[in-house]
Amino acid sequence: MSTQQLNKFAGRRDVLRGVSLAAAGLAAPFAMPRLAGASAPLAQQQVPGLYRLRIGQLEVTALLDGHTAFQDQALPGLFPNYDATVAGRLRQQAFMPAGAVPLAVNAYLVNTGGRLILIDAGAAGALGPTLGQIPRNLAAAGLTPAQVDTIVITHFHRDHAAGLLDAEGHALFPNAELVVAEAEVAYWDDDAAMSQARPAVRSFFEPARRSLAPYRDRLRRITPGQEVSAGVVTLPLPGHTPGHMGVRVHSGPEQLIVWGDVVHTQALQMPRPDWSIAFDSDPGQAAETRRRTFDMAATDRLLVAGMHLDFPGIGYVVRRQEGYGLEPLPWRSAL
Ligand SMILES: [Zn+2]
């Protein structure tokens, strides 16, 4: 068979349907190399959840805590503005599996060269065995919790703050100061706020207090907008919780906006920013923050990262016919 004939054959759709050369009656006229036997056992586990990128002089490592999922039948309760027809269309567009909507839980580690700053700490064992992988992925990055100098907690929900504790409830990070929004600590400490909260929100109070407890003597209370360290600046993004904040990581002309929980389900909430989630302390304010953040990121072509965007959760916000979408950052070998 000539090269020309082979190219013609390979271009046919039959190749995609699995029609082999032999089945097509085209015996190869040359000797085939001996193939190695498939003798390796199946790996049966994913590679470590790590991805690095450089922002100017800073190095950022995305750390995967794992995945959980929202079951389909829970969605109308989770998103009060949920519309089954719209959701069905958006899910089909995003090639999402039926049955449940996967939810990644990510954290981000900033290495300034002099300090290690962790943004959020994952869920540990608080939300089941599919989460709690940050310590393992930190180890895969060659680091230990004792090396972390500073932890910024975007907000005190379990999937972000339960990982501050080890299995015995002690501080997992023995040397880290904890940077928290003053309004966030005040909210979770407020008994009146707890008793007035909707049930979906009320269940977060006790775990938030437990996560804070061993760090009470090393809290750095800030107002969102303040700097944590050179090139690491907090951003007020209220609504999901009263003190919910993001982090702007910048060096020279480069920057990354880590937006915490502005988005939980990107396939639904990016086209529909008004779909706040039941966990939002103030759903109206959360929707307003979401719209403002998308608009800013799309207009200024900002690189963003999110704790529940598909891992590594880094990309660009783009305007689409229906709301917004995310263009994920391609894998890059060189930092
Ligand atoms: Zn979350």
Average pLDDT over residues 49-62: 98
Q: Judge whether residue 292 has pLDDT over 50.
A: yes
DSSP assignment string, 22-34: TTTT---SSPPPP
Q: Judge whether residue 14 has pLDDT over 70.
A: no
Q: What is the pLDDT of residues 216-235, one digit of tens each?
A: 999 999 999 999 999 999 99
Average pLDDT over residues 56-65: 98
**Every domain of the chain and the residues it spans:** 50-328
Gap from CA of 142 to ligand 1 centroid (Å): 26
- Per-residue pLDDT band for 200 (boundaries 50, 70, 90) equals confident
Q: Yes or no: say if 244 and 259 are a contact pair by the CB < 8 Å rule.
A: no
Tokens of 46: 């994913």
Gap from CA of 68 to ligand 1 centroid (Å): 11
Average pLDDT over residues 194-200: 91
Cβ-Cβ contacts under 8 Å for 96 (sequence gap 6 or more):
102, 267
**pLDDT number for residue 305:** 98
Gap from CA of 231 to ligand 1 centroid (Å): 24
Gap from CA of 115 to ligand 1 centroid (Å): 25
Average pLDDT over residues 4-29: 52
Q: Judge whether residue 289 has pLDDT over 50.
A: yes
Gap from CA of 188 to ligand 1 centroid (Å): 16
Average pLDDT over residues 42-51: 96
Gap from CA of 265 to ligand 1 centroid (Å): 10
- Per-residue pLDDT band for 119 (boundaries 50, 70, 90) equals very high
Cβ-Cβ contacts under 8 Å for 34 (sequence gap 6 or more):
none
Q: What is the mean pLDDT of the chain?
A: 92
Gap from CA of 308 to ligand 1 centroid (Å): 7
**What pTM was computed for the model?**
0.90
Average pLDDT over residues 107-128: 97
Gap from CA of 239 to ligand 1 centroid (Å): 13
- Per-residue pLDDT band for 239 (boundaries 50, 70, 90) equals very high
Gap from CA of 30 to ligand 1 centroid (Å): 58
Q: What percent of the chain has pLDDT over 70?
A: 90
- Per-residue pLDDT band for 30 (boundaries 50, 70, 90) equals low
- Which residue did the predictor score with more confidence, 102 or 34? 102
Least confident of 26-35, 163-172, 312-321: 26-35
Strand 254-258 versus strand 245-251 pairing type: antiparallel
Q: Yes or no: say if 316 and 297 are a contact pair by the CB < 8 Å rule.
A: yes
Q: Which CATH superfamily is domain 50-328 in?
A: Ribonuclease Z/Hydroxyacylglutathione hydrolase-like (3.60.15.10)
Gap from CA of 70 to ligand 1 centroid (Å): 12
Distance CA 214, CA 171 (A): 6
Sheet (strand 219-222) strand order:
50-55, 58-71, 100-111, 116-119, 150-152, 177-181, 219-222
**pLDDT number for residue 21:** 47
**pLDDT number for residue 71:** 96
Gap from CA of 307 to ligand 1 centroid (Å): 7
Of residues 174, 160, 176, 180, the one with CA closest to residue 220: 180
Gap from CA of 28 to ligand 1 centroid (Å): 56
Gap from CA of 17 to ligand 1 centroid (Å): 42
Average pLDDT over residues 146-170: 98
Residue 234: strand, helix, or coil:
strand
**pLDDT number for residue 8:** 56
